[in-house]
């Protein structure tokens, strides 16, 4: 992957989102993310990922993908060289992955809040505490529903 990496982004402020094997992504050959295909990350590196996509027509294996907000995409020469290899692409997190991460973060925050509330002397839940408990239950249901949806999509992808 050394040639695909070229050089890590030097622009301050850009940090590639954390990815892990199995992370849901969208891959495109266009910086505008048009005609993006749904896929999964196979491996993450400092400034690119390896991924595969499955469409009705083909299975694609992408040896290096830069994130859509990567400053290197603004340099047309680097971009042309990078995309000259047909196994290179541009990626972003899939919408379900974004939603899943947001739900996990909210559940973790509410769990921490509930744990701190549980350490205070026992009192009947009322007002804001009751509202937080209700929101935690709702978020847990949403997370479970999202997980079921992701599992169904993954099963469909395996069948194709």
Rounded CA gap, 65 and 52, in Å? Answer: 10
Using a pLDDT cut of 90, give the percent of the chain over it: 39
Residues 132, 114 share a domain: yes
Tens digit of each residue's pLDDT (9 = 90 or more) over 29-76: 988 998 899 999 999 888 899 999 988 888 999 999 999 999 999 999
Domain boundary among 93, 121, 138: 93
Q: What is the pTM of this model?
A: 0.67
Residues 89, 40 share a domain: yes
Residues 79, 14 share a domain: yes
Number of domains in the chain: 2
Residues 55, 104 share a domain: no
Rounded CA gap, 34 and 96, in Å? Answer: 18
Residues 133, 83 share a domain: no
What 3-state class would DSSP assign to 10?
coil
Domain boundary among 93, 115, 133: 93
Domain boundary among 74, 93, 112: 93
Q: In the predicted model, is pLDDT for residue 148 greater than 60?
A: yes
Domain range for 30: 2-93
């Amino acid at each position: 992957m050394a040639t695909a990496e070229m050089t890590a982004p030097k622009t301050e402020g850009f940090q590639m989102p954390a990815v892990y094997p199995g992370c849901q992504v969208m891959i495109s050959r266009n910086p505008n993310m048009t005609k993006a295909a749904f896929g999964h990350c196979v491996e993450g590196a400092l400034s690119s990922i390896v991924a595969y996509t499955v469409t009705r027509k083909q299975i694609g294996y992408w040896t290096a993908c830069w994130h859509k907000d990567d400053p290197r995409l603004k340099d047309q020469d680097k971009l042309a060289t990078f995309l000259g290899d047909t196994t290179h692409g541009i990626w972003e997190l899939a919408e379900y992955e974004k939603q899943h991460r947001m739900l996990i973060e909210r559940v973790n925050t509410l769990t921490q809040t509930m744990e701190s509330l549980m350490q205070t002397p026992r009192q009947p839940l009322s007002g804001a505490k009751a509202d937080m408990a209700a929101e935690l239950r709702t978020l847990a249901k949403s997370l479970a529903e999202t997980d079921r949806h992701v599992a169904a999509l993954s099963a469909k992808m395996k069948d194709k």
